[in-house]
Amino acid sequence: MNLLFIGSPGSGKGTQAQYLVSKKNFKHISTGDIFRKNLKEKTPIGLEAQNYIEKGELVPDTITIKMVELALKNTSMDRDSIFDGFPRNQTQTEAFNEILKNRNQKLDLVLYLKVSDSEVVARLTGRLWAPKSGCIYHIKNKAPKIKGICDQSGEPLIVRKDDQKEVVLDRLKIFWENTEPLLTYFNQQGILKTVDGERPSDQILEDILSALKKVI
């Protein structure tokens, strides 16, 4: 089964995807994570993408699609997969359909995690990140034991450039202009399920699991 998570930045896609990975053995394909890994390792893709990511802009389609193709090339798709953050616009959706078709696969379910813009701003601008350990904290909801220090690695926590308020607002604008319109397309295909993403995460997960049951 192929599952796609759509949601504005900070809607909790990554968190819910992680639950499915641990509870249901899904494979998680997150273009944001792949880009960040490339950035950290200073690969050619990472260097090309850095400027766009830090400004909260979409990385050009040619780079993104090539990267997804590369990521899937050596991966068998016998396990259920979650696509998170890709496709994000019309061109990527067409390329994605083609990629799946070439593998005799299809997209089975699209889950839209709906969260208001004000909630997204509150979530993202309060987020703190430990670059080495990859741990993520929040000044209100998940504060570290010692202020500004990662519990796991002891390194200083930082605000990611793309979590700064102006950048978050730009990322939201891009979501509404490029990604949200895809919902109409997926709805017409009868594979869209909208989930209220402003509830406790166990309730969100319950909705997701019941949507999955209907597909299996």
Paired with 129 in beta bridges are: 136, 158
Q: What are phi and psi of 78, to 5 degrees?
A: -75, -20
The DSSP symbol for 89 reads: S
Phi and psi based region of residue 82 (left: phi greater than 0; alpha: psi -120 to 50; beta: remaining) = beta
CB of 65 to ligand AMP, least distance (A): 9
Residues that bind ligand AMP (CB under 6 A): 9, 31-32, 35, 52-53, 56-59, 64, 85-86, 88, 92, 162, 171
Residue type, 54: E
Cβ nearer to ligand AMP, comparing 170 with 203: 170
Cβ nearer to ligand AMP, comparing 15 with 187: 15
Distance between CA 216 and CA 212 in Å, rounded? 6
Cβ nearer to ligand AMP, comparing 2 with 92: 92
The residues annotated as belonging to the active site are 13, 88, 127, 160, 171
CB of 199 to ligand AMP, least distance (A): 21
CB of 201 to ligand AMP, least distance (A): 18
Give residue number: closest CB to ligand AMP: 32
Which residue is it, tokens 């090339």? Answer: 73
3-state SS assignment for residue 116: coil
